[in-house]
Amino acid sequence: MAEAAISQGSLRAIFERGIEAAPSPVMQCVQIKPMDSKTGGDPQRYRVVLSDIQNFIQTMLAAPLAPLVTEGTLKKGSIVRLKSFQPQAVKGRQILILVDVEVLEEYGELEKLGMPVQLETTEPVDQKPQPAAISGNNFYGNQSNGNSKPAPQSRSLPSHPQSNSGDASLYPIEALSPYAHKWTIKARCTQKGEMKTWQNKNGEGKLFSVNLLDESSEIRGTAFKEIADDLYDVFQVGMVYFISNCKVVFAKKQFSNLPNDYELHFERDSTVEKADDQEGAPKVRYNFTKIGSLDAVEKDSTIDTVGVLKSVGDVEEIIGKNSNRPFSKRELTLADDTLTSVRLTIWGNLAMTFDAPLESVIAFKGVKVSEFGGRSLSLLSSGSMDVDPDIDEAHKLKGWYDAEGRQGNYTSHAGLAGNTGGRKQEYKTVQQVKDEEAGLGEDTVYFNLKASVVYVKPDTFAYPACSNDVDGRPCNKKVVEDNPGEWRCERCSIAHPRPTYRYIMSVNVSDYTGQLWLSLFDKEGAVVMNMTANQLTEMKASDEEQGTTMSQDAFLEATCRTYDFRIRAKMDTFQDTPRVRYGVQFINPLDFKRECARLIETLKKYDIKSEDSLFVH
């Protein structure tokens, strides 16, 4: 029955509680009257009286819907569903502007249902004081007394009521531009900055900014001076607001981390209202970059990232260079499943009150990448931090960390500070090493090299050393065999019956770009040869006596093995020729897992350059 279909009482609900109280209400059309257009060329507009059985109300049919009447779809007595409409109060009377309706033709045209009465004009919902000119359009406000509004201005769109949610012209943030005139957005405030004051030659002032987010995009809004005072308390992080009538200007990218060409300036007649429906906008949108890919990110760019908190530094106070004001800062180390870690600095209040537990997953939005010490991150004042957020990426990281990440070795992005004696963990190829030889100068350069042993020089691979302990460490000075069976150390003045041989070998290693001679000392030599220097010396001695080739075999065995070398390169002057000597500090067998991750990252870099990434990493 048609009566049942009608949303009885919806009119009252709309005007008392707002548009959400009656979504898509169904009403009966009890009267249709055309309105004369004041100026020629205006499409016919229709005044429609709608009833919800309890009340009736005047409505204006928006111009695009006029054909519904002219073609006879909408007739007196028809039942209609209001899909999109705007309540308005005009000269104390309530009316609706109908933007989109659906005629429910199945009910046909009926006699007026019930005995509706004119809706009483109670206080309108959330009405802000209306300026006299709501760019008066001539198609409403014509009640039976035919009063018209003050001179119409723009008639292209219905003007936005300063109050009420469910604005018909609800724009997505993405559609905002300086050319859009009347718009309303429904967005969540994802970040509110602190009130900042400035002084320059023009005087002084204050401002604050907010980040606003809806399903389409995000945008930054700034309010200055008195407007800032008014709006500062209105905005709360996490709440959804209807915002309209701000100036849309080009964004000042240096102050904002949001991917929008425009930003908003709140003006005196901009409106900001808390929305009843807080669910309409997403919480925060992240676009994460993996920590391992940071090498490829340009410095000073802004990214989002998520990682497991590996370490937290103490709060430090530093004095700003330019401002001479004290800042608090704190360094965190984050790592993720690319097996790389990076330092991230947080500032101010956040640094002082930071207390997230180690090994928690933290998502950061609005982080600047800098080249300081390799690659490091800094949380912008417009950025935000979320501990253990309820998003897929965070859960994935947590799962990975619990399973493997805890034991993993991480390559650090940070070059200086907080690393093994502050050295860069940079991998070079042999070609790179050779190219950079010239630039070595007086400094010692450290780098990593993944290469295979190709040849071990069999002569002079070890020397006899003094094994006497000096200050807890073996003396290791070369001992001389003065008399057979007596090896004398000059430093310690002790004679040893048998010296301890220590490796001092030259090894030729090779990677796909070239070959290089490295010097290894005892510990590393033992890894390469897989035996101690003493053993090898004995082997050699017995070879000479017995004609065996055991030592030669041993040397052969050492070849064709790939290791991860940590190398120190230093310029030495050898009989008037400067030569670079490459000494091995550490030697590590390949950790396949880490190498794999590193190779994947390297491959990805090729992708990023060609903007054609297939990796579903």
Partner 1 sequence: MTEATPRILAPYLSQFQGQTVRILGKVVQLAGETAFIDAGGKVTLDLKTNRDCHLAVGNAVEIIGKVDSNLEVKVFTSTDMGQGIDFDAANAVVDATHKYKEIFYE
Q: Which is nearer to partner 1, 416 or 603 (CB)?
A: 603
Q: Which chain residues interact with partner 1 by CB under 8 A? A: 337, 593, 596-597, 600, 603, 607, 614-617
How far apart are CB 501 and partner 1 at their closest, in Å? 40
| Residues 251, 430: Cα–Cα separation, whole Å | 46
Q: Are strands 427-428 and 445-456 parallel, antiparallel or unpaired?
A: parallel
Sequential DSSP letters for 530-552: TS-HHHHHHHHHHHHHH---HHH
Sequence-distant (6+) residues with CB within 8 A of 275 are 165, 186, 239, 240, 241, 242
User: What H or E segment, with its residue span, contains residue 362?
Assistant: strand 361-370
How far apart are CB 340 and partner 1 at their closest, in Å? 13
Q: Which is nearer to partner 1, 491 or 593 (CB)?
A: 593
Sequential DSSP letters for 182-237: S-EEEEEEEEEPPPEEEEETTEEEEEEEEEEE-SS-EEEEEEEHHHHHHHHTT--T
Q: Which is nearer to partner 1, 198 or 606 (CB)?
A: 606
How far apart are CB 292 and partner 1 at their closest, in Å? 11
Q: Which is nearer to partner 1, 239 or 603 (CB)?
A: 603
How far apart are CB 592 and partner 1 at their closest, in Å? 8
Describe the chain by its helix, strand, coil percentages, rounded to 5: 20, 40, 40
How far apart are CB 614 and partner 1 at their closest, in Å? 5
**How many Cβ atoms are within 10 Å of 585's Cβ, its own excluded?**
15
| Residues 468, 479: Cα–Cα separation, whole Å | 11
Q: Which is nearer to partner 1, 71 or 612 (CB)?
A: 612
| Residues 158, 134: Cα–Cα separation, whole Å | 9
Q: Which is nearer to partner 1, 337 or 524 (CB)?
A: 337
CB 348 within 8 A of CB 381: yes
Q: Which is nearer to partner 1, 492 or 600 (CB)?
A: 600
Rounded (10°) angle between helices 533-546 and 522-529: 60
Through-space distance between the first and last CA atoms of the chain, rounded to whole angstroms = 57
The vertex-263 CA angle with 261 and 264, nearest 5°, equals 155
Sequence-distant (6+) residues with CB within 8 A of 540 are 551
How far apart are CB 596 and partner 1 at their closest, in Å? 4
Q: Which is nearer to partner 1, 368 or 617 (CB)?
A: 617
Q: Which long-range contacts (CB under 8 A, 24 or more apart) does 320-329 make?
A: 328/352
User: What H or E segment, with its residue span, contains residue 604?
Assistant: helix 592-610
Q: Which long-range contacts (CB under 8 A, 24 or more apart) does 588-597 make?
A: 588/563, 588/564, 589/527, 589/563, 589/564, 590/450, 590/562, 590/563, 590/564, 591/409, 591/564, 593/339, 593/408, 594/339, 594/408, 594/409, 594/411, 595/450, 595/564, 597/292, 597/338, 597/339, 597/340
Q: Which is nearer to partner 1, 90 or 597 (CB)?
A: 597
How far apart are CB 527 and partner 1 at their closest, in Å? 25
How far apart are CB 608 and partner 1 at their closest, in Å? 13
Q: Which is nearer to partner 1, 249 or 603 (CB)?
A: 603
User: What H or E segment, with its residue span, contains residue 312?
Assistant: strand 302-312
How far apart are CB 519 and partner 1 at their closest, in Å? 34
Q: Which is nearer to partner 1, 180 or 403 (CB)?
A: 403
| Residues 234, 202: Cα–Cα separation, whole Å | 28
Q: Which is nearer to partner 1, 331 or 337 (CB)?
A: 337
Q: Which is nearer to partner 1, 353 or 602 (CB)?
A: 602
Q: Which is nearer to partner 1, 318 or 596 (CB)?
A: 596
| Residues 78, 104: Cα–Cα separation, whole Å | 7
Q: What are phi and psi of 556, to 5 degrees?
A: -65, -40
AA letter at 385: M
How far apart are CB 578 and partner 1 at their closest, in Å? 42
How far apart are CB 615 and partner 1 at their closest, in Å? 5
| Residues 93, 60: Cα–Cα separation, whole Å | 13
Short-list 572, 575, 468, 587, CA closest to 521: 587
Strand partners, 505: 520
Alpha helices, DSSP H only, in 45-184?
66-70
Q: What are phi and psi of 323, to 5 degrees?
A: -95, -15
Q: Which is nearer to partner 1, 297 or 600 (CB)?
A: 600
CB 241 within 8 A of CB 235: yes
How far apart are CB 284 and partner 1 at their closest, in Å? 26
